[in-house]
Structure 1
């Protein structure tokens, strides 16, 4: 079969990674994989792995994007995919209008994936108007059924995101060379108990909570150090400055390190003693939580959204009531005083995600 996936851009993030993973699985199974986006740094990898990338400016949330309806319709008619899989709202709307101009008998099957808890409105509703709607967690299933009553429950298919356990093996340790280089770059991390907050620098990720934690714990635990692993794009530079000013004013500059954007997230997760998930909004899945647990690093996170689903099944003692600062403090102290062992992860595999998605494509094709 021929599958065309659509998303705004191919730079970084969960949507992008999921697109590449399904594209790779399609090619490995002997299917044809097309991806339509405005391009980005992951295009080279996508094409090296056997997919074809079609460049189209379907990334802007503006009326000018409507000019892309006809070019998109031409691409669909030219390539005649069996399945069109939309992964974001602007591409979903453009696809909606593009398909209207194609005779019903010639239209491909339409699938969407709801990756986020979008604002509830007509603009977001388009993600629930496909033949099958993939939800990336039970929390997303609930979000759809609560807010979009026009979407028949039988059309919603929960397919958890997954990771490759071979890429994040249990008990993984970074190489001596990596550790040596890290201590050369960040000498302040040597012989420290490391708390890691992974993710991009945005107001949603809980950096203020981390700063508050370190402030409370510093007197009792002189070896404690926090690492924030993730970069700030240019639009978030002011927020990063704000955080650094706050850290400086509290005298915590030698206690918290910002690593910037890193391609070696597995190493940082394995190298850390504890990983935190403190987003101020529920996450639909929480892939980094899963990656950390997979390599064997304990995770402490708020009890909501996809993160709660993962922790409930894999490490329930890491669950903390949302915004319960005292419980969070207690959980960190416990980890420092008595480090916990994590059992090997046997759920949420990338293979399952890919198999279930391709089976869904197959099911639609067979339905006529």
Structure 2
């Protein structure tokens, strides 16, 4: 993908800690650099900032994660200065609070503004709907799934011509079982305290420790399985609590009270997710609210692992029920217990066959390269329309 000469992209994202929006920011920055452009990211910072800079991107550190009106006004002024200093070609916002500052700065400097609608935001009042609509006020809106696109059109009455669907991509060079050596899987097994001779079916829930990810549904499902005499599973909760120590403590207490301390482990943040998926036999996404896309449903499929997920949101596009995984009723512990039992009873050979179908499909539809190419094409479209 070619870009105009002297192309400079400014992406604005609250933090670079972890998550789908953050990973997309890193991927697109890398693609812009590879295409000969300059990639700036205005953000508070975070553990992924080092990767941004290693890929040739540049960090513009400022408190864009804030919702404080005075600080947001200060961020707008800082962004105006940055846009003028770096001769920014396009401003791309990836979250609502920083989008206000970014949109104002783009208007002041007459710079094209794009926003990616990364989530289906709730709006229980006119004020909240107005707040959410900041993501639709630019030259172009990017939706990360058809599910999100339909929501944006219905909620904000956006002209479909100003809206494009670009599914999130997965780094298929990173999420490739061929390039994930057994030593990395062994190291993770040891770090998580899983014995070599432990042959229980390993089930991975990858996601930050927050209530909407559905951990408690799985604890309740596991309790049902144990009540029926099943102990042939090991469930791994891999994710950062991001300061939500109260929820993490509640989760551990629920595990202990159910007598499941040997069957469910909270293993914390994981830096080697490809190895984590290979260590697991299947992945689960029991989200209680719809994921707009759900990268954590695509990554394990790319690694050849079937996925069980809540039957709502973007995952209904990325998982083929009964073919690459299973879709289960939301927040229904009994249904989840049945689905987990069925996946275990299917056996390793049949699960591997499902995993191979999922891997092939993920590589066809959800590569980071395809996502980046479509995003850069959207940039070109906006620049041509402005010209």
TM-score class, shorter = over 0.9
Q: For 1:16-165, what aligned pairs fall within 5 Å after superposition?
A: 16-65=22-71, 66-102=73-109, 107-120=110-123, 121-149=129-157, 151-165=158-172
Q: Structure 1's 144 and 181: CA in aligned 2 closer, same or farther, altered over 3 A?
A: closer
Pair 1:2-2:8 in alignment: yes
Q: For 1:191-340, what aligned pairs fall within 5 Å after superposition?
A: 191-218=199-226, 219-234=228-243, 236-312=244-320, 315=323, 317-339=325-347, 340=351
- Greater CA drift, 89-98 or 126-135: 89-98
Matches of 1:184 and 1:79, distance apart in 2: 44
Instruction: Spell out, residue by residue over 1:295-330, the C-alpha distance to the aligned partner (whole angstroms, 9 max, x if none).
Output: 111101111111111013894651123344444333
* Structure 1 stretches of 4+ moved >4 Å: 170-174
**TM-score calculated relative to the size of structure 2:** 0.88
- Secondary structure class of the residue paired with 2:365: coil
Where does the alignment leave 5 or more consecutive residues of structure 2 unmatched? 1-6, 124-128
Instruction: Spell out, residue by residue over 1:33-91, the C-alpha distance to the aligned partner (whole angstroms, 9 max, x if none).
Output: 11112222222221221122222222101112212222221111221211111111122
Q: Structure 1's 99 and 223: CA in aligned 2 closer, same or farther, altered over 3 A?
A: closer
Instruction: Spell out, residue by residue over 1:317-359, the C-alpha distance to the aligned partner (whole angstroms, 9 max, x if none).
Output: 5112334444433322222112322212322111110000001
Matches of 1:225 and 1:44, distance apart in 2: 33
CA RMSD of aligned residues (A): 2.0
Aligned residues: 362
**TM-score calculated relative to the size of structure 1:** 0.92
Pair 1:11-2:17 in alignment: yes
Instruction: Spell out, residue by residue over 1:66-118, the C-alpha distance to the aligned partner (whole angstroms, 9 max, x if none).
Output: 1222222111122121111111112211122223433xxxx221111011112
Choose the corresponding residue for 2:366, options 348, 352, 357: 348
Deviation at 1:12, TM superposition (A): 1.8
